[in-house]
C-alpha cells in the first residue's frame, strides 16, 4: 500500500512513523509513506499558502493554488489513482469499520490542512471525501492523519508480530477487552483470578468472553448490539 501525505508540517510525522509497528511495516515494505510539503508549491518568494477570508472574519484560509499544484504533483508520482481524503472537522467520523475499508486500498492520498479553514474550491475541485477523527477541535489535520495511518497500517497482513493479532482487537470483536494479568500472582493485596491459573482453557475462554461483555455493558453500552444485550449472565 502507498500513502501520500500532503502537509505544511512534514516533520510532525517523523516520530510516529519512525517507531514500533509503523517503522517495521515501512522497513518491511508493507507500506510506502511519502510526505510532500504543500509550501514547496507556493508561488511567491515568501512561500505564502494562506490568505485573509473574503467577506471578512477571523483567521486565515488555505489558498487553493499551492494545494492544487501539490496534489497534481503528488498524484503523478505513482500510476495508481488512489483515494483522496481531506482531513477536516466536518468529515465523516473515522472508526474501525472505516479503517478496514481504507486498509484495503492500494493507495491513499491524505491532505492535512491548517488555518481556520480551506478555500471551498479545494473541497469541490479535488472531489475528496472528508474525514474527522472525532468531535473535538485540533490545531490541524496532521495528528488526525497520523491516527488514520496508524489504525490502517496495523491491519495490513504481516504488520503485527506473531504474538499480536488484529483479529483479537476489541473493536473488531465489537466488545471491550477482557481483563489481563501478568506476574506477580499477588500485587498490593490484589490477586490474579483463580480461573486464570487453573489451566482449564475452555473455562478461561468463557470467563474472558463474559468479562468482556460485562465491561462493555458497564463502560461502553453504545457498542453493544442486540445479541449481546440479550445474552443472559451465565457462568
- What residues are annotated to the active site? 89, 116, 154, 169
Q: Which of 21, 30, 35, 138 binds ligand 9D3 (CB under 6 A)?
A: 138
8 A C-beta contact, residue 5 and residue 36: yes
Q: Which of 65, 89, 174, 179 binds ligand 9D3 (CB under 6 A)?
A: 89
Tell me the per-residue interface mask from 38 to 77 with ligand 9D3, x by CB under 6 A, - otherwise: ----------------------------------------
Nearer to ligand 9D3, 120 or 164 (CB): 120
Q: How do beta strands 61-62 and 50-51 pair?
A: antiparallel
Q: Which of 70, 117, 122, 152 binds ligand 9D3 (CB under 6 A)?
A: 117
DSSP 143: H
8 A C-beta contact, residue 40 and residue 145: no
Number of Cα atoms under 13 Å in the Cβ half of residue 234: 8
Q: Which of 11, 116, 168, 200 binds ligand 9D3 (CB under 6 A)?
A: 116
Decide: is 151 part of the binding site for ligand 9D3 (CB under 6 A): no
CB-based contacts of 11, cutoff 8 Å, min separation 6: none
- The verdict on whether omega for the bond into residue 221 sits within 30 degrees of 0, i.e. cis, is no
Stretch that binds ligand 9D3, among 44-52, 131-139, 150-158, 227-235 (CB under 6 A): 131-139
8 A C-beta contact, residue 35 and residue 5: yes
Nearer to ligand 9D3, 137 or 190 (CB): 137
Amino acid at each position: 500500500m502507498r500513502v501520500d501525505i500532503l502537509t505544511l508540517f512534514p516533520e510532525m510525522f517523523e516520530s510516529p512513523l519512525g517507531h514500533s509497528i509503523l517503522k517495521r511495516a515501512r522497513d518491511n515494505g508493507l507500506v510506502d509513506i511519502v510526505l510532500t510539503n504543500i509550501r514547496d508549491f507556493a508561488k511567491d518568494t515568501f512561500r505564502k499558502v494562506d490568505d485573509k477570508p473574503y467577506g471578512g472574519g477571523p483567521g486565515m484560509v488555505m489558498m487553493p493554488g499551492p494545494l492544487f499544484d501539490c496534489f497534481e504533483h503528488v498524484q503523478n508520482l505513482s500510476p495508481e489513482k488512489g483515494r483522496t481524503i481531506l482531513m477536516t472537522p466536518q468529515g465523516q467520523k473515522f472508526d474501525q469499520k472505516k479503517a478496514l475499508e481504507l486498509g484495503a486500498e492500494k493507495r491513499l492520498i491524505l491532505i492535512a490542512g491548517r488555518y481556520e479553514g480551506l478555500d471551498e474550491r479545494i473541497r469541490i475541485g479535488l472531489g475528496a471525501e472528508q474525514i474527522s477523527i472525532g468531535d473535538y477541535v485540533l490545531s490541524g489535520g496532521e495528528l488526525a492523519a497520523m491516527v488514520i495511518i496508524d489504525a490502517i497500517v496495523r491491519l495490513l497482513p504481516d504488520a503485527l508480530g506473531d504474538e499480536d493479532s488484529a483479529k483479537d482487537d476489541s473493536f473488531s470483536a465489537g466488545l471491550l477487552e477482557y481483563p489481563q494479568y501478568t506476574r506477580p500472582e499477588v500485587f498490593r493485596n490484589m490477586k490474579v483470578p483463580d480461573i486464570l491459573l487453573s489451566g482449564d482453557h475452555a473455562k478461561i475462554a468463557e470467563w474472558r468472553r463474559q468479562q468482556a461483555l460485562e465491561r462493555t455493558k458497564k463502560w461502553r453500552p453504545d457498542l453493544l448490539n442486540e445479541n449481546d444485550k440479550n445474552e443472559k449472565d451465565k457462568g
